[in-house]
Structure 1
Amino acid sequence: MNSHCFLVIVIINIKTMRRFKTRIVFVLFICSIITVSMLFYFMLIFDDKKLANNIINTSRSVIVVGFSELRNENLTLCETYEKKVKLKLVQMLENEHNDDGDDDVNENYLENFVESLKSDSQRMDSSNSTALNLESKELKKIWSIAKKWVRARQIIPEKAPELSSIIEALQHSKIIKSDVSRKGTQLKLLLTLEGGQQALFKPRRYSRDYITDDIYAGADRHNGEIVAFHLSRILNQRYAPIVASRIINVAHEIKPVASPSLLATFVPQKTKLNKTLECFYGECYYCNEYELLCPDETTGTLEGAIILMLPSQYQLQKLRHPWQRTYKKNLKAQWEMDSHYCLSVLKSNSLRPRVLDFVDTAIFDYLIGNADRHHFEVFKDVSNSALLLIDNGKSFGDPSHDETTIIFPLLQCCVIRNQTYQHLRRFAFTINSSRFTLSAIIKQLLSNDQLWPLLTEHHLQALDRRLRMIMATIELCFETYQRNYVLKN
C-alpha cells in the first residue's frame, strides 16, 4: 500500500501536493488506526497473535464472504445462519455412525455423572408425605448450608449431597409470612419460611402445552423455572438459584399470614356451586384486579415454583445485555444485522470471563427457548462473578420453534469454553444409548416430582434437537477458524 502511495505522490505536482498534503496524511492516519484496531480486536477474540496474522494474510475474510452471501441470496443474517447450521447438522448426522469416539468410556462417564445428580437432588429414604417434621433450628441449619455454597462462580457446588434436604424444605416448610413482590413485570409472592428463609413463589399461569403468540410474550412459566434449574446442573452451569415445585393452599397457608399489601389485592370469587375462592392479583408491572389468580376450585391450591433467595450479603448488579432485542417487530437491533457485532462487544467486555459467559448463557437459553434475557445479573463488587441464570420463566413456550437469534453470541464470536464443549458433546450424539440424552436425564431427575410431568414430550424432544443444533454451530466455527482458537481454557 505504501509503495503505491509513493508512486502517486511522485507524479503529483509539487504545488498540488502541498495543497493536499495535510488531507493525505490525515486519511492515511485514519486508515492505519482502523487497521490496527481491527487487528487488536481479532486478537482479543481469538486470544492468539498467530490467528490475527493469518487473518491479515488471508486474501478473503469469512465475514466478508458472509455479507456477500447475504446480498446474493437476499436473506437476513438470521436466515443465513440457520441455513448454514442446518446443512452442517445434516452432514454431522450422516457421519455420526463413523465417529471413532470411545462410546463405552463416554457412557460410563455419563452414567456416573447422572447418578451423582440424582443422589444430590432425590432423597432415597423419603416417602410422598407432604409434611416436613423439622424444627426451626434444624431448618436454619439447612438454609445456612445453601448460603455457604454461594461463591463468585457458583450457587451450588458440583457435589451437593444436602441439595435434596433443601429442596424438601422448600416444598414443605411452614410459611410464616406472605407478601407482594413488586420487582419485575410478573406476579410473584415473597414468602418467609420457617427458619427465617425467604423465597419467591411463581404460580402456575398456563397449561404445559399452551403456546403464546410471541417467543417472549405472556406470563412466566413455573415449570420452566423448575426444569431450568436442573438443566443448569446437567450443563455444569451451576449459576441458577435453587428451585423446587410447591403446592400451596391459599386459604390456609397464604391469606392467614398475608401482609396488608397482599391482603388488599384479594378479591373473593363465587363459583357456580356457590363456593368461595380466595383469588388475588398481587403487585407487579402487569398486575391488575381484572386478571385474578384463583386456586383450583376442587382443592383450593395453587401449584408453582418456589425459588430460594440468595444470601443478603451478595448484592446483585443488573446490566444491559449486549444481545438485547428491541422487542419491536419492525426494528432490529444492531447485532441482528451486523456479523462484526462481537468486536464491538469486546470493546466493553473482557473475553474471560464475560464474553465466554455470554456464550454459555446463550447455549442455556437456546435449549430452554428463553429469548427474554434483556439484562444480565452478576454479584456486585465480587471479582470474576459468573453471569447468574436468574429469571428463567420465559422458557419452554413453543417446542416446534428453535429461536436462532438466541444463539447469536456463539455464532458471531465463535468462542466457547473447552470444558463446556467437551461436556455438551457427550450428550449430543449418544450412539449406543438413549438413556443419556438431555430429555432422558431430565426424566430421570424429575419423574418423581410432585408436579410431573413438568414438560410435554414435544418439549423434551426439543431439548435434544436444539443441543444438536448447538453442536452443528460449533462445528461451523471449527471450519471457519482453527479449532484451538475456538476452544478456550
Structure 2
Amino acid sequence: MKIYHWLEKDFKRRVFFAVLMTGFISTATVLLVFAASEQNTLQENIIKLLMRQDSLTSTARVQQFTNERERNDGVVSSEKGKNLKIEKRIPAWKLLLEDFQTKATFYDPEGHYIPRLLEELATTEIKNISTMRRGTQLKFWIHFVDGNQAIAKPMRDPKDLYITYDTSTSYLMERERHTAEIAAFHLDRIFDFRRVPPCTGRLLNFTSEIIMKTNDRSLLHTQTTKDGNQCFVGKCRWTFLCNESALTCAKGGLLEVSVCQAIPNLAEVKDYWYRWKTLFDRSENQLRRDCENVKKEAVFNGHNFDLDFFEAVAFDHLTVNQDRHHYKILKSNTTDAVGLSLLDNGKGFGNPLVDDPTFLLPFKICCRFRNSTYWKFKEFTKPDQMLGDQMRASLAQDPINPVLTNDFFPALDRRLSQILSELDRCIKKFGRDVVLLED
C-alpha cells in the first residue's frame, strides 16, 4: 500500500518502477530458459551414459557367457531366462577354501584362481601381524583386511648361503629358509601333487606393515638396528634361533618374507609319523620291515596312502628336506575325498651342490612306486621339458625372484635322475608289474 502511494505522487517514479520490473522479468525469463536448456543437456548426457553403460554391460554378458571357468576367476553368475546376472567377484582364497573342503587337496586340479590368489597374498593390505607361538622357528601369523589369513616366514640368511650338511651337526640347528617354502609350492604344482599350500614372496615395509600393524610385545619390545637397518629379535621356542646374534633385519626398510596360505579348520586331519625320518640310523632289515609297516599303517578312511608316501619321499629327496617328521592326511567334511599334505618345507633347498643318498633307500629297499608318477618323472627328463627349466620358468613369476640361485636347477635334474635310476634298477630286478603300481 505504501509503494502504491509512493508511485501515485510522481510520474517519473512510475516510469522508473516499470523499467525496473521489466528488467527483473526479462532476467528471470533468461534464467528459466537457461535452466531448461541445462536440464535438457543433462538429460541427453544421462541418456548417452546409460546407452554406453548398457553397451558395456552387453559386452560383459557376452564375455561372461563365453567364459567356461567364470567361477575359477571369482565371478559368480546366474542365468534367468535371457538375462545373465553378474555378481561380486569372489576373493580367490574363498574359492581355494571351497576346494579344500570338498576335495581334501589345497586347490582344484585346474587351479585357474591360483595366480590371483598369489597376487592377493602378495598385495592385500595387512590388518594385523603377530609372531606364531608354535614351532621352533620365527614366523608370523597375518590377518588381511579381506578376511584371509596366512603364515609368513622372514628372510634370515642370504639366498646364496648354502648349508653344509654334516652328520655331526643336527639339521635342527638350521634356520628355516623363506625361499624354500615358495620353491616347494612351485615344485609341487609342477608335479600336480597339490599337497603344498600356495605360497608367494612379498616385501613388507618394516614400519607400516609390521610395527604399526602389531600389538605383539615380542616384536615391539625387541626392536634394534644393525648396519643401519631396522631389526628385531623376535621370539622362538629355541632361543639360539632368536637372539642378539640371530636378528631378523629389513634391508632399506623392507623385510623379504614368504607368505603361505593358512590351512583352514575345515577338514579332519590325521598325523602320521614319518618312518624314514632317521634313515641313516637304520639297518637294511629295519628298512625292509618299514616297507611292510607303511603298507599296513598308511590307511585312512578306507584309502591306502602307501604310494603317496613314496611320492613324498621323492619330493623330499629333490628338495633335501631332512625335517620331515610328520605327514598329515586331510579328509573332506562334505565328501569322501582324502589327501596327503606336505607342510613345513622351510628346511629344504639348503644346498644344491650336496645330495643326500639316504632319501633313496626307500626306493632301493621297498621297490615300489606309482606308475603314473614314474612316467610323469620320465617326461621331465626330456631335453625340452627338463625339470630344472620348468622350475626356473615357474619361479620367475614370483615377486621376489630370483627365489633360488641358478645352482638349484641342474640339481633338481640330477636328483630326479637318481630316483629314476633306483626305480629302473628295481624294474630290471623284479619286473615292471611288481614295481610300478596303480591306485
TM-score with structure 1 length normalisation?
A: 0.65
SS of the equivalent of 1:392 reads coil
Q: What are the Cα deviations for residues 408-437 of structure 1, in whole angstroms up to 9, with x where unaligned?
A: 332222111111111111112x1xxx3411
> CA offset at residue 339 of structure 1?
3.9
Task: Check whether the contact 1:203–1:222 (CA below 8 A) recurs between aligned residues.
Answer: yes
Kept in 1, the 8 Å contact 2:250–2:256? The answer is no
Q: CA deviation at 1:337?
A: 5.5
- Structure 1 residues 195 and 341: alpha-carbon distance in aligned structure 2, compared to 1, 3 A threshold: same
Q: How does 1:87-106 map to 2 (within 5 A)?
A: none
What do the CA deviations read for 1:258-317 (whole angstroms, capped 9, x no partner)? 13344455222264xxx57242313433453334534334x2111121000122222533
Question: 1:235 maps to what in 2?
Answer: 191
> Of residues 95, 105, 121 in structure 2, which corresponds to 1:145?
95
Which range moved further: 202-211 or 170-179? 202-211
Match for 2:324 among 356, 368, 373?
373
Q: Which residue of 2 aligns with 1:172?
A: 123
Of 346-355 and 473-482, deviating more is 346-355
2:379 to 426, 430, 438: 426
In structure 1, the partner of 2:132 is 181
Question: Structure 1 residues 357 and 270, CA, compared in 2 at 3 Å: closer, same or farther?
Answer: closer
Q: Retained in 2: the 8 A contact 1:435–1:441?
A: no
Give, in whole Å, the separation in 2 of the partners of 1:196 and 1:479: 54
**Matching of residues 457-472 of structure 1 within 5 Å:** 457-472=406-421
Aligned to 2:426: 477
Query: For the residues of structure 2 that align with 1:276 and 1:358, how far apart are their CA atoms?
Result: 44
Kindly tell me: are residues 448 and 387 of structure 1, through their superposed partners in 2, closer, same or farther at Cα, counting changes over 3 Å? closer
For the 8 Å contact 2:287–2:362, the answer to whether it is kept is no
Cα deviations across residues 204-261 of structure 1 (Å, max 9, x unaligned)? 1222221223373411111111111011011121111010111111111011121334
Q: Which amino acid is 1:210 matched to?
A: L
Q: Matches of residues 335-346 of structure 1 in structure 2 within 5 Å?
A: 338-346=287-295
Identity %: 28
Letter matched to residue 393 of structure 1: G
- Equivalent in 253, 270, 276 of residue 300 of structure 1: 253
The alignment partner of 1:268 has SS state of strand
8 Å CA contact 2:200, 2:260 repeated in 1: yes
Q: What aligned pairs does 1:2-401 form with structure 2 within 5 A after superposition?
A: 141-150=91-100, 151-214=102-165, 216=171, 217-269=173-225, 271=227, 275=228, 277-286=230-239, 287-297=241-251, 299-325=252-278, 332-333=281-282, 338-350=287-299, 353-379=304-330, 385-401=338-354
- Which residue identity is paired with 1:227? A
> d(CA) in 2 for partners of 1:392 and 1:335?
27
Change in 2 beyond 3 A, CA 1:317/1:179: farther
**Structure 2: how far apart are the matches of 1:257 and 1:363?**
40
Is contact 2:157–2:177 with CA below 8 Å preserved after alignment?
A: yes
Distance 1:205 1:467 in 2: 29
**Shift of the alpha carbon at 1:449?**
2.5
Q: 1:323 to 1:265 in 2, by over 3 A?
A: farther
- Conserved? CA contact 2:321–2:348, under 8 Å: yes
**Does the 8 Å CA contact 1:279/1:292 hold for their aligned counterparts?**
no
Matched, 1:487 2:436: yes
Q: Secondary structure of 2:250's match?
A: coil
User: How far does residue 450 in structure 1 lie from its aligned partner after superposition?
Assistant: 2.5
**Secondary structure of 2:340 counterpart:** coil
Query: Is the contact made by 2:153 and 2:178 (CA closer than 8 Å) also made in structure 1?
Result: yes
- Structure number with higher relative contact order (C-alpha < 8 Å, ≥ 6 residues apart): 1
Distance 1:395 1:241 in 2: 15
Structure number with greater Rg is 2
* Structure-2-length-normalised TM-score: 0.72
Pick from 395, 409, 432 the counterpart of residue 362 of structure 2. Answer: 409
Q: Which amino acid aligns with 1:477?
A: C
Structure 1, residues 345-399: CA drift from partner, whole Å, max 9, x if none?
Answer: 3343349632111100011111111122121112268666322111111111121
Q: 1:455 maps to what in 2?
A: 404
Checking the alignment, whether the CA contact within 8 Å between 1:265 and 1:289 is kept in structure 2 is no
> How many residues were matched structurally?
342
Task: Say if 1:309 and 1:270 are closer, same or farther in 2 by CA, change over 3 A.
Answer: closer
RMSD: 2.7
* CA distance in 1 between partners of 2:201 and 2:437 (Å): 36
